[in-house]
Structure 1
């Protein structure tokens, strides 16, 4: 028994020493990484600081390889969803062309860690924050204008500012222009009404919007309320299934059994469990079997997948030069679903999107990089096509979802590098 206890103690001892050794190695790696990323390029800049913005000290980092380069301000998504704990490696890929400013907006990221506030988040306050921050960055860097790079919510934030203050913006670059903010063209809404009324055919709708429209409508985002209209759109799903499976007799037979009226009843009565069970038993197997083979013809989807990142996410977090370990622990356990923006998000998105709906004339170049699986019914492309600007470009990121424009940083950097070349030659 004594020999067994001694052996057990030795095992625990070696396990403890191994864990301790691993911790020491990780801490050494973190120290070396922080020292490496804290270096300032010759002739460049590498700084971080807190700036007083409308009663709150807000965090910014500034990094660039040449102080003479134009300034680019990144506006993160959310609202309130900062990525400063991991995204610095992305911005350093842009540092040859720009002095990149990363800003943690009100009550987000290091701003929240440093000085969280419970003040009401309003449209006017957010606009005021960006106006104050922009003026301070321009003064600090000695520039008259800057480029705005927005992601998701940040695209609405950037575009709103650019439309209101064109004298301070060199160009706008939108990554994953926010589709959930209501940038739906009235033309699309009218086409849906005309389809339901019989003025437009199924083929007309497919030619204009592809197959996305009917599946987009299935998710209750087009504000269709008349049961007959809902059924008409659901019949479009059945017609799509029949079209896809025309050369596949087994699946075509299944498509003929699809019940649009059952789907309508489920949508109109979401609390009725018996209807949902009937849907699961009848329609869902048909959905699943046909979508498994032909679903790639639908281009709308979020495809949020951190594993598609082309840079080391874990190393970015662990070697982050701006965050202490306690700060990393706090930010990684932050409850984004219950932050200070949670009850204001829809209002902010709607108010800022309204600026885009009402104004499509940009007095500076306007560029969009969008995942091809992040453009339901082509509404983002439709908005872009309605824009007038001195120069503009729209690129689809192949097989890209809402987060791909950030996670696939090499393709992002190539897009931005091309834009920087245009700006230098303009």
Structure 2
């Protein structure tokens, strides 16, 4: 009797699991069809582009082909957001044709652009070539850059190096200098953890000169979470689970690759960070912009230090500059406050007319 009961319970569990998977697959299929539609008069195209000797994935989405083009640069370095970023980037698609790009060795570009050694020269050439492709493909004279976190450091350098290609730069979670950023966070964390032995133990696992391992990065992030400055302290204003399930740009094979890759796509970028290669992109003493300069920053952002971004902004010389501050927001403002963020992007688009 006991064996029969166990078999029956096991059978029920198997049926439940299969049913759950079937529901997810059907939901994914239906959601993908719905979200993959092209707006009337607009554009919705995904493709692999030949970039600097590799093939890298982009999606182009907009409600009006005549709108200006905006290239979104995800953070990291090495952290593609293509598994969910279509939800918040499409909120700008009525005023911009938005291009999302999985950078070298990231996301859907991982298997087609894997690189053992990442250098500034390689990434700057990637950025230049993706920009040139978009100018030609979309028939534009210039485009706008919007970079988050690492993408803001990357994008600012592209705008400084190739101003002839860009009409505006928008940095959010503006990253200025790797070393100064980590020192400011570490100093603040020393104060936060005063009298907190467990917090001190976490803090001991990382320091400004010890961030070359996943363990150190995890400890750093745990410190931010512990004291209320975590990237997603406010959650998100949309459902991340359904966003992933309904993703129009990911097939089942893509999801399998995403799960299989795990942290592997991040590994070359750990070395890029640890060997000071990324410090070559520091924005300190680089203040002369020939394009409009915008910042959208959270006033509780310690992931990329808000105060450093403000100090830098005060020194920037640009044809036009403006800082937008999102109150009580940390680093994940694109996800946690996507509606408010979108309203600011719309203001910027209006100013650029």
Query: Could you say which TM-score interval applies, normalised by the shorter chain?
Result: 0.7 to 0.9
Aligned with 1:26 (options 14, 24, 27): 24
**Counterpart-to-counterpart distance in 1, 2:38 and 2:47:** 15
1:341 is matched with 269
CA offset digits 1:97-151 (Å, max 9, x no partner): 1000011111111110344233x21111111111111000110000010000001
Residues 301 and 374, structure 1, Cα contact 8 Å, conserved in 2: no
Residues 138 and 144, structure 1, Cα contact 8 Å, conserved in 2: yes
TM-fit CA distance, 1:24? 1.7
Find the structure with the greater CA-based Rg.
Answer: 1
1:125 is matched with 122
Mark the CA change 1:307 to 1:325 in structure 2 (over 3 Å): closer, same or farther: farther
2:255 is matched with 328
Q: How many residues align?
A: 320
CA offset digits 1:324-349 (Å, max 9, x no partner): 22322332451168522211124243
**Counterpart-to-counterpart distance in 2, 1:315 and 1:307:** 18
Mark the CA change 1:130 to 1:24 in structure 2 (over 3 Å): closer, same or farther: same
Residues 68 and 96, structure 2, Cα contact 8 Å, conserved in 1: yes
TM-fit CA distance, 1:181? 1.8
1:80 is matched with 78
CA offset digits 1:382-416 (Å, max 9, x no partner): 10011122222112222211222443211111110
Residues 370 and 405, structure 1, Cα contact 8 Å, conserved in 2: no
Residues 301 and 373, structure 1, Cα contact 8 Å, conserved in 2: no
Question: Bigger shift: 327-336 or 380-389?
Answer: 327-336
1:314 is matched with 241
* Residue aligned with 2:167, SS: strand
Residues 299 and 328, structure 2, Cα contact 8 Å, conserved in 1: yes
**Counterpart-to-counterpart distance in 1, 2:288 and 2:134:** 26
Mark the CA change 1:382 to 1:336 in structure 2 (over 3 Å): closer, same or farther: farther
Aligned with 2:187 (options 194, 198, 217): 217
Are 1:402 and 2:336 an aligned pair?
Answer: no
**Counterpart-to-counterpart distance in 2, 1:337 and 1:66:** 34
2:346 is matched with 417
**Counterpart-to-counterpart distance in 2, 1:167 and 1:415:** 25
TM-fit CA distance, 1:21? 2.3
**Counterpart-to-counterpart distance in 2, 1:405 and 1:28:** 28
2:145 is matched with 148
2:97 is matched with 99
**Counterpart-to-counterpart distance in 2, 1:139 and 1:23:** 43
* Residue aligned with 1:367, SS: strand
* Residue aligned with 1:411, SS: helix
Residues 303 and 373, structure 1, Cα contact 8 Å, conserved in 2: no
- Taking structure 2 as the reference length, what is the TM-score of the superposition? 0.82
Mark the CA change 1:82 to 1:377 in structure 2 (over 3 Å): closer, same or farther: closer
Are 1:380 and 2:350 an aligned pair?
Answer: no
**Counterpart-to-counterpart distance in 2, 1:407 and 1:153:** 18
TM-fit CA distance, 1:301? 6.7
Are 1:352 and 2:349 an aligned pair?
Answer: no
**Counterpart-to-counterpart distance in 1, 2:121 and 2:229:** 30
Moved over 6 A (4+): none
Are 1:159 and 2:147 an aligned pair?
Answer: no
**Counterpart-to-counterpart distance in 1, 2:113 and 2:120:** 20
- Taking structure 1 as the reference length, what is the TM-score of the superposition? 0.69
**Counterpart-to-counterpart distance in 1, 2:114 and 2:288:** 37
Structure with the higher helix share, 1 or 2: 1
* Residue aligned with 1:393, SS: strand
1:201-216 mapped onto 2 (5 Å cutoff): none
**Counterpart-to-counterpart distance in 2, 1:15 and 1:322:** 32
